[in-house]
Structure 1
């Protein structure tokens, strides 16, 4: 079980390495998590959601154009505070506290062609140094207003190895069969489906990483199918807002909502 004071130390893994080919209007120039929603990149919106509930430890699984994500966080203080730059002495002094983010950001190169499971697996040596038997995780291209502390409470209540958040989007990307709050069947992105789908926002015991063979493992394939078959994949049903950013049309929708102050995910 966790204590509220421990939340800041629970790692949050965010998958940031994909090429985002369906959004090539933007991803030709930047990784999808760096696509702007309003005046901030998508990755910032996701992290702010977790931070709202006290999570401060973020492990970013980098790949395609990962250097842009590195640069963004390396320069975060520089770009969000007033600073005094002394050119001769090459000295920089922060003049104010222009932002409230006190995050630990792990920038982990997980490979250019690595699949989702492989990216999580590559976190293993760093997770072993942390005092947490679980990790949270999500994708770097979707926002949600799920109550993450309630999600965590639910995970500890059932004692299973994994919990996934199920959502009802306007378009369908995957199929879940649910019985007594357990996933009995999982298929990612079938040709047709109905009902609940995989919305990300996972809670995983670190033992789940043992089901991942290596870089070529798609997390949504064998590992999750195995968890479902073993009765170890519970589901947290979220009826609230959830929206991915797979296409330019979906990006436009998110920006319109943000501009109109109707961004349901903006809970901070």
Structure 2
């Protein structure tokens, strides 16, 4: 696509232990677990690349050398535009972001290294600027593989809803657009989760918005999730918006 955007940098948090996917993460970090023949991290970068992103900052931690070695060999991306930073083995998300503060542009995208989507990133960015937001969250509706059971205080079932009947309940999909000013809400002296105290402070500025995405989104938290994504990959996956 290579459409001109106001933002050209994306930060990917890729340093977690991935304990719920331990079958795969004993020898590699979670973002390097494969969907099809490529790591999920590759899929994420291809998505952003499609929308014209050229600069990637990957915050590593657990087995970060595996990520570094992959991009030394991978020809799908220009190596000089990928900055890999070791942000600590057990650092929390806010702390990882704070550690790269000096190399961040004024506005940037942020995501995790474990989810894929068909999100139209250009529309997300346009929404961010239109609202004059300093922190924009993409709200997604998780794929439900099962129906939902509604029951009362005595656990008596009141209703059973099929997937098609479920109401839209948005959760954070991990696709963010941030203004660098939000870093002042992260305590540099404590190890902090971006999603906890910092976000609660940012909400109070009244400059935090949600961009609703009703399309495809899927996180890879467990082995079952990985198997589900592998299955989708074999049959026209919705997140594969690039041609090659």
TM-score normalised to structure 2 length: 0.84
1:210 aligns with: 184
Q: Deviations over 1:103-132 (max 9, x none)?
A: 6100001000100011111111212xxxx4
Instruction: Write the distance in 1 (CA, Å) between the matches of 2:100 and 2:133.
Output: 21
Q: Determine if the alignment matches structure 1 residue 22 to structure 2 residue 5.
A: no
**How many Å apart are 1:232 and its aligned residue?**
1.8
How does 1:220-259 map onto structure 2 within 5 Å?
Answer: 220-259=195-234
Q: Deviations over 1:240-265 (max 9, x none)?
A: 0000000000000000000122x110
**Aligned 8 A contact 2:13 2:58 in 1:** yes
2:97 aligns with: 120
Instruction: Look up the SS of the partner of 1:199 in the other structure.
Output: strand
Corresponding residue to 2:78 among 102, 110, 114: 102
Instruction: Write the distance in 2 (CA, Å) between the matches of 1:154 and 1:242.
Output: 19
How does 1:14-53 map onto structure 2 within 5 Å?
Answer: 14-53=12-51
1:159 aligns with: 132
Instruction: Write the distance in 2 (CA, Å) between the matches of 1:212 and 1:41.
Output: 30
**How many Å apart are 1:229 and its aligned residue?**
2.4
**Aligned 8 A contact 2:21 2:223 in 1:** yes
User: Stretches of 4+ moved more than 3 A in 1?
Assistant: 4-7
Unaligned runs of at least 5 residues, structure 2: 145-167
Instruction: Look up the SS of the partner of 1:74 in the other structure.
Output: helix
Q: Determine if the alignment matches structure 1 residue 136 to structure 2 residue 101.
A: no
Residues 42 and 125 of structure 1, relative CA distance in 2, 3 Å threshold:
same
1:80 aligns with: none
Instruction: Write the distance in 2 (CA, Å) between the matches of 1:238 and 1:251.
Output: 22
**Aligned 8 A contact 2:13 2:111 in 1:** yes
CA RMSD after TM alignment: 1.5
**How many Å apart are 1:20 and its aligned residue?**
0.4
Q: Deviations over 1:215-247 (max 9, x none)?
A: 611000011111122212100000000000000
1:62 aligns with: 60
Unaligned runs of at least 5 residues, structure 1: 78-98, 172-193
TM-score normalised to structure 1 length: 0.77
**Aligned 8 A contact 2:143 2:217 in 1:** no
